[in-house]
Amino acid sequence: MFDQLNALPSDPLLGLITLFREDNNPHKVDLGVGVYKDETGHTAIMTAIQKAAKIHLESEDSKTYLAPVGVAGFVDGIKKLVLGDGSKALSDGRVAGLQTPGGCGALRIGAELLGRIKEDLTVWVSNPTWANHIPLINSTGLKIKTYPYFNPETASVDFEAMDAQLAELGPRDVVLLHGCCHNPTGADLTFEQWQRVTDRAVKQGFLPFVDIAYQGLGDGLEEDVKGVRHLSENVEEMLIATSCSKNFGLYRERTGTLLVQNKTATQASAIQTHVQDAARANYSMPPAYGGFLVDRVLSDSQLKAEWQAELAAMATRVKSLRNGLVEHIQKQGIEEDFSFITRQKGMFSFLGINKDQVLELRNKYGIYMADSSRINVAGLNTHCLEYVASSLKAVL
């Protein structure tokens, strides 16, 4: 039976990891896979998480099953982190939610929930979007279309084009929005643009589905969710997929949540049964460990302050690498304007170079990035900036 299935092509980004590992160039730089790295290229465990892990190890006395919601304290903590202590939707009891295996699990359960709605829904994703959005949503049978988002000419959001598309949508449409630090472009909506998207959602009746995987890695924990909170305050219903992979560094622990805002608390209780049922049919319940650690960090004021400081330092480092790269590019006398890199947010930017140039950087200079020219800025360090800028000059 299995001989009917041929091997699939390897995932291009994961394939880059192998190519990078096998490259003997002593100057090689990995700007491919989207994980945060420190100055030495290491993805360290955050100190607050290490401390929480120690406390957890000493206190955990059972490995019995959790409730379907996962670690309840964790889910409550994330609800407040994203929507804020003063959220009316939270105090009204209108937000259903559960722990999921990472942001991917949240997106998937969200898509399954949408698949249970009788109407024929279309999910609109930004052009471009994170590559995994498509299979995560598609495999539940929902239709996917793209809305205009990024203008390569200006290296920023083409908001008028996006808004014109949103103006055509209605109650059978779902709009997937990146909460902050857009992947892959680094081009975020301004708060004023979030307000306009919110007005559109209210007027047209489409359902916002926010994917927020980088809270705290852009302009700060509160600043990064300003747009999402504005949406939540003004629309009745929305979905939010969160991830603790990047901002708590819990990549392999698969820790996220799906939050579903409803019109009423009664409706939220009904939706809670549906998301739990969808999870049950997939993996029954989420892995607990990451949820315990985040719950511990968020509920202990000292650990929380430590985590916030470390996260802020990570975001500051990424910003200074953005500035440093542009300074080195300018020092090289490169004519093209790359200053957009300093205006973009989070870990990613598109360099806007063509595929031949991407391949030349890879094959001749050992500088690895996605074929689209998306770079993970956090993969840079102060020592390689000059090398990256001079190699860029050579291929331009």
Catalytic residue among 30, 51, 79, 130: 130
Q: Is 63 a catalytic residue?
A: no
DSSP secondary structure string for all residues of 95-162: EEEEEESHHHHHHHHHHHHHHTSSS--EEEEEES--TTHHHHHHTTT-EEEEEE-EETTTTEE-HHHH
Binding mask 172-191 for ligand PLP (x = CB under 6 A): ------x----x--------
Convert 224-242 to b/e letters by CB count within 10 Å (16 or more is b): bbbbbbebbeebbbbbbbb
**How far apart are the C-alpha atoms of 189 and 100, rounded to whole Å?**
27
User: Could you tell me the smallest distance in angstroms from the CB atom of residue 92 to ligand PLP?
Assistant: 27
Closer residue to ligand PLP (CB): 34 or 366: 34
- Residue 213's identity, in one-letter code, is A
By the rule CB under 6 A, 295 interacts with ligand PLP: no
**194 near ligand PLP, judged by CB under 6 A:** no
Among 70, 97, 103, 324, binds ligand PLP (CB under 6 A): 103
32, 218, 256, 291: residue in contact with ligand PLP (rule CB under 6 A)? 256
Q: Is 245 in the site for ligand PLP (CB under 6 A)?
A: yes
Distance of CA 134 to the CA centre of its chain: 14
224 binds ligand PLP (CB under 6 A): no
Output the CA–CA distances (angstroms, integers) from residue 187 to 152, 177, 311, 322, 342, in the order listed: 10, 12, 20, 13, 11
Q: Which of 37, 51, 79, 246 is catalytic?
A: 246
Smallest distance from the beta carbon of 100 to ligand PLP, in angstroms? 9
Q: Please tell me the distance from the alpha carbon of residue 239 to that of residue 237, in angstroms, as a whole number.
A: 7
Q: Is 356 a catalytic residue?
A: no
Considering CB under 6 A, how many residues would be counted as binding ligand PLP?
13
366 phi-psi bin (left φ>0, alpha ψ -120 to 50, beta other): left
Q: Which of residues 20-39 bind ligand PLP (CB under 6 A)?
A: 34
Is the CB of 251 or the CB of 387 nearer to ligand PLP?
Answer: 251
Which residue lies nearer to ligand PLP by CB, 103 or 324?
Answer: 103
**At its nearest, how many Å lie between ligand PLP and the CB of residue 346?**
9
Active site residue 211: yes
To 10 degrees, what angle do helices 355-365 and 385-395 make? 130
Residues binding ligand PLP (CB under 6 A) = 34, 102-104, 130, 178, 183, 211, 213, 243, 245, 251, 256
Q: Which residues are catalytically annotated? A: 130, 211, 246
